Amino acid sequence: MLALAVLLSALPLSWAASFRPLPRFKNLVTFGDSYTDAGNPADGGVAWPVYAAGYAHIALHPFAKSGGTCSNDITPRPFPPVMESQIPAFKEAKLRLPPSETVYTLWIGTNDVGAGALLTGVDPGVTVVDTTKCAVDWVRVMYNLGARNFIFQNMIPLQLTQLYSATGQPNRYFHNPRNTTEWAIFMTELTTSGNALSSLMLHNLAPTLPGARIALFDSHALFTDMYNNPARYLNGTAPLNVTSSINSCVFTAAGQPAGGACPPQVAGSARDSYLWFDELHPSEQADRIVAREIVAAMKGNTRWATWIS
């Protein structure tokens, strides 16, 4: 036993933490934006939290809202943010969930760094440091409300979506002229630097929260792997596609679909051949993969998540 203790003390915190048994979770509480909104799924089907709750046979308590950012005090948008809307909604719900049986997730940042926010400009004093600090502070705020188990999902490589890629065309989310190469480069910088900051901040925060368990879920690495190795994840009946989307539509500068209408969506089982549902959102098949790996993270059994405390 002494030798094991000495070994653990010499290991990184994330590795040693894997020896601390994870509880059997019975409740999943989700916060975030359209990537997580269970009531308004942006994948054209079923949102990942619904799948995750079903896979794990646990109760889902969803608070994520489409269009949201971490805080409207930092990146104001006319949608329900985490800090000023979603957390108050959670408090008002008075759920009384057992801390040891409940895991809380946050997937935020897509709107914070995107068009209408950091990418196109907000208050000159606002940076990705501010949006990242806000996201990490969600852990502290929820801890003070009684939460003890957290899964923090970082930002995906948004430059791989049609909206932010170097080959992107005017679409429903942004149809004004833009330098697509510049957007792709800037978005790469925003997501990678924001993710690096969140990892450092979470490692610094963890020791200040006694009894908390915090997992960093690497959405960026998972989606990069799905993009580079689609055959491992996509299983539809059409040729595998990671560059277009199920519901893609080119818009004119006037904000109308080119040709007067959008083409028909991909239908049936062919949809599961696509990584993206539209120019910004993952497909339902991609969300099934997210759900599967989140459930695996709850058990400490996925390479895409590390329990850092």
DSSP string, 195-211: HHHHHHHHHHHGGGSTT
Q: What is the pLDDT of residue 20?
A: 61
Q: Does any domain span residue 15?
A: no
pTM: 0.92
The residue with greater pLDDT, 79 or 262, is: 79
In a domain, 17, yes or no: no
Q: What tens digit of pLDDT does each residue of 247-267 get?
A: 999 999 889 999 888 988 999
pLDDT tier at 208, thresholds 50, 70, 90? very high
Residue 4 in this model has a pLDDT that exceeds 60: no
Per-residue pLDDT, averaged over 46-68, amounts to: 98
Please report the pLDDT score of residue 252 as a whole number: 92
Higher pLDDT, 146 or 262: 146
Residue 259: its pLDDT value, please?
82
- 80 is in which domain, residue-wise? 23-229+284-307
Handedness of CA 181, 74, 197, 156 (dihedral sign): negative
CATH number at residue 210: 3.40.50
For residue 219, give both structure tokens: 């959405």
> Is residue 55 one of the residues assigned to a domain?
yes
User: Using one digit for the tens of pLDDT, what is the confidence trace for 86-117?
Assistant: 999 999 999 999 999 999 999 999 999 999 99
What is the residue whose two structure tokens read 């994948």?
A: 43
**pLDDT at residue 222, as a whole number:** 98
Q: Number of folded domains in the chain?
A: 1
Q: What amino acid is encoded at 250 in this protein?
A: V
Edge-to-edge strands, sheet with 213-217: 59-62, 27-32, 102-107, 149-153, 213-217, 305-307
Report the amino acid identity of residue 81.
Answer: P
Residue 1 has pLDDT above 90, yes or no: no
Backbone angles phi, psi at 117, to 5 degrees: -140, -125
Two tokens, residue 306 = 């590390």
Is residue 153 included in any domain, yes or no?
yes
Mean pLDDT over the full length of the chain: 93
**Banded pLDDT at 140 (limits 50, 70, 90):** very high
Residue 64 has pLDDT above 90, yes or no: yes
Asked if the model's pLDDT at residue 16 lies above 60, the reply is no
Q: 238 lies in a domain?
A: no
The C-alpha atoms of residue 92 and residue 80 are separated, in whole angstroms, by 15
| Per-position DSSP letters for 71-111, written without gaps between them | -TTTS--SS--IIIIIHHHHHHH-----GGGEEEEEE--HH
The answer to whether residue 125 is domain-embedded is: yes
On whether residue 127 sits in a domain, the answer given is: yes
Residue 266 counted as domain residue: no
